[in-house]
């Protein structure tokens, strides 16, 4: 629930756990939150300070356990240090590429009085500025040479805070786009949307990605769809728009990176001249989008008797889904069919 809360509002969701088995049960959830870019603060009760180094009931080096699955892991070992550790944990969860953080709270520290002022700015969020103007110019020079550009929207592009700037840029650019299963869908620009990709290289969007002569990645993390699957044999330029620089990879070596606050960078990108996309590429985009819609439409002709075909279920859900609907689903085939 904390991860879902963090994803929906873009600020930390908070969860609590007891010491020992309580904290070990957090590992999978926090690893997922960090991998998928959801801000979460996990607070775990710990044995009193006097028992910290004893082999006693539910004693555990939780900080070490959590270091590999969070962006910050620390215990507050005194009431004086608590606001410091708490503030840094919140900041680590909410800055750059979002993720989970961990705060260990010994019993006696949690019960102690604290003289810190909660309104003093502990954990205050600090926004980045836009990407550098010289990088934006370099990106513009690359983009104007492309004839078959494709936008690839990743999970950071789903941040509610950037939705308006994202829509403005995508619609003004006129560039076809696809999204990972964690990225934003057709609501950004329905006429330019060709579907989702990831997991298996068998979607209509994969075919358009293969045909593109350049890719603009926005908020994309390679963990969503390994570039070795879709870009190993390509020499085309990649423009990477993100909050932090990419880990370099033989299959993912951006020609230019626009690093900074996504909202401000997208606003800057929207000022560029509208690109001229080749007519045959736009026709290809429409054909693949139609293929996706035709597959979804098959559900209407399928009977409703048990066992219910997945496409029939997709059709029935689409009838009652509105802009305010939040749909929770598992990974694997659920991703493929529901998207």
The pTM for the full model equals 0.88
Place of tokens 């560029």: 272
Q: Which CATH superfamily is domain 133-294 in?
A: TPP-binding domain (3.40.50.1220)
**Mean pLDDT value across residues 182-197:** 93
How many residues does this entry show for the chain? Answer: 339
Q: Which residue would you say has higher pLDDT here, 338 or 247? A: 247
Cα–Cα distance measured from residue 15 to residue 66, given in angstroms and rounded to the nearest whole number = 14
Helix, coil or strand: residue 72: strand
Provide CATH code, domain 2-111.
Answer: 3.40.50.970
Least trusted range by pLDDT, from 127-131, 176-180, 233-237, 296-300: 296-300
Residue 213 has pLDDT above 90, yes or no: yes
Q: What is the pLDDT of residues 75-134, one digit of tens each?
A: 998 999 999 999 999 999 998 889 999 999 998 888 888 887 877 888 888 888 899 999
Residues of the chain with CATH 3.40.50.970: 2-111
pLDDT at 290: 92
Residue 49, pLDDT score: 79
pLDDT of 329 higher than 80: no
pLDDT tens digits for range 136-164: 999 999 999 999 999 999 999 998 889 99
Residue 183 · residue 175 · CB < 8 Å: no
320: left (phi over 0), alpha (psi -120 to 50) or beta: alpha
User: Of 200-209, 210-219, 273-282, where does the model show the most confidence?
Assistant: 210-219
Residue ranges of the chain that CATH labels 3.40.50.1220? 133-294
């Amino acid at each position: 629930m904390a991860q879902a809360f963090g994803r929906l509002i873009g600020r930390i969701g908070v969860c609590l756990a007891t010491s020992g088995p309580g904290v070990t049960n957090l590992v999978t959830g926090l690893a997922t939150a960090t991998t998928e870019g959801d801000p979460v603060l996990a607070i775990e009760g710990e044995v009193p300070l006097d028992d910290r180094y004893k082999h006693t009931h539910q004693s555990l080096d939780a900080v070490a356990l959590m270091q590999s699955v969070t962006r910050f892991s620390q215990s507050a070992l005194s009431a004086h240090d608590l606001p410091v550790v708490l503030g840094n944990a919140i900041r680590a969860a909410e800055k750059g590429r979002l993720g989970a953080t961990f705060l260990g709270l010994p019993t006696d520290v949690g019960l102690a009085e604290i003289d810190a002022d909660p309104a003093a700015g502990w954990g205050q969020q600090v926004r980045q500025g836009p990407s550098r103007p010289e990088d934006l110019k370099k990106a513009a020079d690359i983009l104007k040479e492309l004839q078959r550009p494709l936008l690839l929207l990743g999970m950071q592009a789903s941040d509610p805070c950037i939705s308006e700037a994202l829509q403005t840029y995508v619609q003004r650019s006129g560039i076809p786009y696809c999204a990972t299963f964690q990225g934003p869908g057709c609501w950004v620009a329905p006429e330019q949307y060709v579907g989702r990709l990831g997991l298996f290289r068998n979607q209509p969007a994969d075919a358009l990605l293969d045909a593109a002569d350049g890719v603009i990645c926005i908020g994309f993390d390679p963990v969503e769809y390994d570039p070795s699957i879709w870009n190993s044999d390509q020499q085309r330029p990649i423009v990477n728009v993100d909050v932090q620089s990419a880990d370099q990879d033989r299959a993912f070596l951006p020609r230019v990176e626009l690093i900074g606050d996504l909202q401000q960078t997208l606003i800057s990108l929207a000022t560029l001249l509208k690109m001229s996309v080749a007519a045959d590429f736009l026709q290809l985009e429409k054909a693949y989008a139609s293929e996706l819609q035709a597959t979804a439409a098959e559900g209407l002709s399928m009977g409703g008797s048990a066992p219910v075909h997945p496409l029939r279920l997709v059709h029935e859900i689409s009838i009652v889904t509105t802009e305010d609907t939040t749909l929770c689903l598992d990974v694997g085939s659920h991703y493929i069919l529901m998207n």
